[in-house]
């Protein structure tokens, strides 16, 4: 076997092992990103929707890498409008900049498609790795480690 073939084989193995290990994180970020894209992690002004606590917590892990949701965020999500929605003391109403929400739906649809693609690609990669790999025990250990390590780091 030539040096080039050995290097290519090593790169393929590294890709396989890293892919199996990070697959749970990719799935987590794709799913929580999709939830955030459609704003299921927060309330909007004038809405009666209250997000489930697990969605708020998963969004917090996604965005801030912590399970600790600030109390004011939980309270605001439950009852009050955002402080950004109310004018600041001493500020004239014309000083408030209102962002324009121009054509966000096509971009939201695109990111939802990206999330669906990541989920599908990750599951198909996991399937192929188990189907065509000789060392299924190593694959299972890496997959379990990819699930346990981030949970341990989050809780620890």
Task: Please say if the pLDDT value at position 86 is more than 70.
Answer: no
> Is residue 62 packed enough to be buried (19+ CB in 10 Å), middle (13-18) or exposed (0-12)?
middle
With pLDDT > 90 as the criterion, what percentage of the chain qualifies? 52
- Highest mean pLDDT among 23-32, 66-75, 77-86, 88-97 belongs to 23-32
Q: Which residue has the higher pLDDT, 133 or 5?
A: 5
pLDDT at 64: 84
- Is residue 73 a part of any domain in this protein? yes
Predicted structure pTM score: 0.74
44-78 tens-digit pLDDT: 788 888 888 888 889 988 988 888 887 766 555 55
Q: Shortest CA distance to 44 belongs to which of 85, 90, 94, 100?
A: 85
- Is residue 95 a part of any domain in this protein? no
Q: Which two tokens stand for residue 112?
A: 């939802």
- Is residue 96 a part of any domain in this protein? no
How many Å apart are CA 43 and CA 63, to the nearest integer? 17
- Is residue 98 a part of any domain in this protein? no
* Structural domain harbouring 9: 3-80+117-155
pLDDT band per the 50, 70, 90 thresholds, residue 6: very high
DSSP 82: -
- Is residue 14 a part of any domain in this protein? yes
* Average pLDDT value for residue range 113-132: 95
The 10 Å CB-count burial string (b at 16+, else e) for 114-145 is ebeebeeebeebbeebeeeeeeeeebeebbee
Residues 6+ positions from 30 with CB-CB distance below 8 Å: 114, 115, 116, 118, 119, 122
How many Å apart are CA 129 and CA 119, to the nearest integer? 15
Task: Please say if the pLDDT value at position 82 is more than 60.
Answer: no
How many Å apart are CA 72 and CA 75, to the nearest integer? 5
Q: Which residue has the higher pLDDT, 60 or 96?
A: 60
- Is residue 109 a part of any domain in this protein? no
How many Å apart are CA 156 and CA 140, to the nearest integer? 23
Is residue 57 within 8 Å of 51, Cβ to Cβ? no
- Is residue 130 a part of any domain in this protein? yes
Q: What is the number of structural domains in the chain?
A: 1
- Is residue 88 a part of any domain in this protein? no
């Amino acid at each position: 076997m030539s040096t080039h073939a050995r290097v290519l084989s090593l790169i393929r193995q590294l890709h396989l092992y890293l892919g199996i290990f990070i697959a749970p994180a990719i799935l987590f970020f794709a799913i929580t990103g999709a939830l955030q894209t459609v704003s299921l992690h927060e309330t909007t002004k004038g809405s009666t929707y209250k997000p489930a606590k697990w969605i708020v917590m998963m969004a917090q892990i996604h965005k801030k890498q912590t399970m600790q949701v600030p109390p004011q965020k939980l309270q605001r999500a439950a009852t009050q409008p955002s402080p950004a929605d109310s004018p600041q003391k001493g500020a004239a109403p014309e000083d408030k900049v209102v962002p324009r929400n121009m054509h966000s739906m096509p971009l939201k649809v695109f990111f939802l498609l990206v999330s669906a693609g990541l989920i599908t690609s990750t599951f198909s990669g996991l399937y192929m790795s188990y189907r065509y790999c000789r060392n299924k025990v190593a694959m299972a250990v890496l997959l379990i480690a990819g699930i346990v390590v981030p949970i341990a780091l989050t809780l620890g």
